[in-house]
Amino acid sequence: MIVGIGVDMVKLSRLPLERIHFIERVLTPGEKALFYSKKTEQAKREFLGGRFAAKEAYAKAKHLGLAKIGLQNIEILNYASGEPYLNDPHAHLSITHEKDYAIAFVVLEKGDIDE
């Protein structure tokens, strides 16, 4: 049973890529390793924007604020196929980015909001 859905959109040009503190706050160590492996500024923006949108979308699906969950407690990595996954086995995630925007959508199945 679906117990929550969440969606979020991030404008990539607004991301303060030069602020290390922002990167440190948003990305987990595992995500940071992927972020710094991106070769172009646009690829970095797409990655960071997609992660930020995914964390916001997850918080919405959990019916909680992002501050309450904590950005560092949510991690989004990718399978070898490229498909992204959250560190919550009940969460289904999809990310897209096009030009100046990244969008993420999360569906939570039964069990999540009781944990």
Ligand X SMILES: CC(C)(COP(=O)(O)OP(=O)(O)OC[C@H]1O[C@@H](n2cnc3c(N)ncnc32)[C@H](O)[C@@H]1OP(=O)(O)O)[C@@H](O)C(=O)NCCC(=O)NCCS
Residues identified as active-site:
60, 97
- Looking up tokens 């560092």 gives 72
Where are any strands of DSSP class E within 12-100? 76-78, 84-86, 91-98
81 binds ligand X (CB under 6 A): yes
88 binds ligand X (CB under 6 A): no
Report the nearest approach of ligand X to the CB of residue 108 (Å): 18
Q: Taking CB positions, which residue lies at the least distance from ligand X?
A: 82
Q: Kindly tell me the burial class for residue 17, based on how many C-beta atoms sit within 10 Å of its own C-beta (0-12, 13-18, 19 or more).
A: middle
Contact residues: ligand X, CB under 6 A: 46-47, 50, 78, 81-84, 95-97
